[in-house]
């Protein structure tokens, strides 16, 4: 039996958005370069304020990011996390598979978590994280990966 690395973490989609000025940060009362945990209302407000700006969506969360790097090195990896039954959750699954990570994503009706990464013109990143479904993962849902 070959060995695998199993990661467990917050399944989050990173939404990288280039902002023209720090006006949005001021309006949200976010300190430049900070990481802010936000609820669904603030998450939706940020989405409204950044609508139409240049954005890119990638799978994220520190455990998933680490496993993608290990998979690129040829190390077999599996990942456990919780996502919503939504397009973002499906994106997470397909992107992880395409990177060589075996996803074990538990689904719920709560939206998939997202980290809105607001990138200022000078490259400074300010993050607003909505944990969504990720926060609902329970010990009973954590099962060993299939061989």
pLDDT tens digits, the chain, 147 residues: what are they?
A: 568 899 999 999 999 999 999 999 999 999 999 999 999 999 999 999 999 999 999 888 889 989 999 999 999 999 999 999 999 999 999 999 999 999 999 999 999 999 999 999 999 999 999 999 999 999 988 876 565
In 23-55, which positions are buried (b, 16+ CB within 10 angstroms) versus exposed (e)?
ebbeebebeeeeebebeeebbebbeebbeeeee
CB 60 within 8 A of CB 115: yes
Could you tell me which residues are beta bridge partners of residue 55? 17
- Integer distance in angstroms from the first to the last C-alpha of the chain? 8
Q: Name the pTM for this structure.
A: 0.86
């Amino acid at each position: 039996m070959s060995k695998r690395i199993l990661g467990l973490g917050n399944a989050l989609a990173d939404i990288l958005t280039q902002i023209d000025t720090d006006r949005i940060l001021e309006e949200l009362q976010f300190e430049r370069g900070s990481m802010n945990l936000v609820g669904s209302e603030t998450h939706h407000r940020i989405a409204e304020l950044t609508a139409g700006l240049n954005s890119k969506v990638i799978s994220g969360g520190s455990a998933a990011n680490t496993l993608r790097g290990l998979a690129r090195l040829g190390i077999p990896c599996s990942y456990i996390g919780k996502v919503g039954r939504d397009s973002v959750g499906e994106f997470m699954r397909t992107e992880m598979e395409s990177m060589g990570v075996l996803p074990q994503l538990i689904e719920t009706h709560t939206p998939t978590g997202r980290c809105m990464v607001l990138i200022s013109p000078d490259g400074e990143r300010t993050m607003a994280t909505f944990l969504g479904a990720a926060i609902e993962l329970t010990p009973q849902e954590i099962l060993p990966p299939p061989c």
